[in-house]
Amino acid sequence: MNFGVHLWDQYENLSQYTDKGIIFLEDIIKFLRGRIKIEIEYAKELKKLVKSHISTNKKKEDSYYTFTHATAFITYIKEISDVAGQHDQIAEELSKYEKDMNNSINTYKTERKRLFNRALKEQADLRNQIAKHDKARKLYEKSAKEEEKARERYIEMENDDLKTKAEVYNAKGIATSKQQICESYKTDYAAELKKTNDMQRTHYSIVMPDIYNHIQNMEEGRIEEVKNRLISFMEVEKKVVPILQRCIDGMEACCKTINAEKDIQTVIDLYRSGYTPNGDIEFVEYGTSTPNTTKKKNKLKAASFIRYRFSERALRRLSLVAPPHQNDKKDDPFFTNLPPLQQKKKINEKIVNFQKTLLKLNQERSGLEKMLEVAEKGVGVEGSSTPKSHMGLSQDRMNEELDKNRQNIENIQSEIEKYENFLRNIGHSKEETKSPNLNNHTPSSVKTTSL
């Protein structure tokens, strides 16, 4: 397959084809720019969407995000955010090829222009030579006709007895002159013919095939350029596939963490008050007692009901139906505004936090004691009574830190003991905890037991 052999006479078609090839490369760049723009916009919109559905404050303040299906959704959209990041990466990598492709197009344009200008020049030179040949041929043709006409006239006059010798001699001179001129033009024509044939043979067998072969090489390079660029684009995609797959795996894993039973149990743990349903309403007998007795009992029941209505327990129970912000009491260390089970839960959380703090303080104390022991040994070896510093702290300073640590430990232990005692008192209570539905109670059935 060779342009120079098979397409020796297809200059115009080759010119159009190679021009379309350059336009094709420019179309690839347009596609690349469009793709980069879309990837950037897609990543931007995807991140914006994720951001609108995930909020740090929302997660911290809204207890709904403790459920497995809610946390799975948060994890899922975080993976989507990572997917968006990969689209940013694709755009960044693809943008690196745009400049290289522009340089390649400029190179192809320059090379194409040079080769086709060279072809045009060679064709123009051949046409000029053919024009010279045609001119020499026409001059020779005209001269030959004039020579033949002069020779025929000379022969005619020589055979005419009426013509004088002078006229015959003159005709002979003209014929001889025309013959010489014709021979000269013939020689010129022969030279131009040879030159034209040589040039034409060289043109079609060497010069133009060489140009067309260079055009073929240029085209092969351009086509390879397309191939390599498309492979590069594919490699960019291929590079992010494992990361995208990890994102998909993460989505799949978080979906599998959704547990309906666990969420239902969480709902129960979150909202169970610990109250027991109301008992039966007692039947009140009227008219069976003496007026004084009935009046006295009614007064006692009314007083009991009033005590219940304004007792701390009743107020706590009423707080269950109040708006959430009305239940917040920053100065309520025992969470008495909460239902019993929720109160226990909060107190247990408080104890756990205190225990963590206590563990940290004990570790600090152990470290300080070791430092002090090392410092005291150093003083004993040197035989000096001057306090030495160790790790930037003097012995006096370390003793002060130990005293402060001891005081902090005692305070924390006291807090733990206080809350544990409170929990024990709640647990040892034998009185029934009723539902806060006051309308279903008669005064005689009300109990005023406090936590």
Give the mean pLDDT of 18-45.
95
- The pTM is what? 0.61
Give the mean pLDDT of 250-279.
88
pLDDT above 70: percentage of residues in the chain: 79
What is the per-residue pLDDT across 190-226, written as a single tens digit (0 to 9) for each? 999 999 999 999 999 999 999 999 999 999 999 999 9
**Where is average pLDDT lowest: 25-29, 136-140, 229-233, 300-304?**
300-304
Task: For the chain, list the domains and their CATH numbers.
Answer: 3-265 (1.20.1270.60), 304-445 (no CATH)
Residue-level pLDDT at 440:
43
The structure tokens listed for 127 are 């046409």
Task: Inform me whether the pLDDT recorded for 141 exceeds 90.
Answer: yes
pLDDT class for 428, splitting at 50, 70, 90? Answer: low
How does the average pLDDT of the chain come out, rounded? 81
What is the per-residue pLDDT across 392-422, written as a single tens digit (0 to 9) for each? 567 788 888 888 888 898 888 888 888 888 8
pLDDT class for 261, splitting at 50, 70, 90? Answer: very high
Residue-level pLDDT at 314:
43
pLDDT class for 302, splitting at 50, 70, 90? Answer: very low
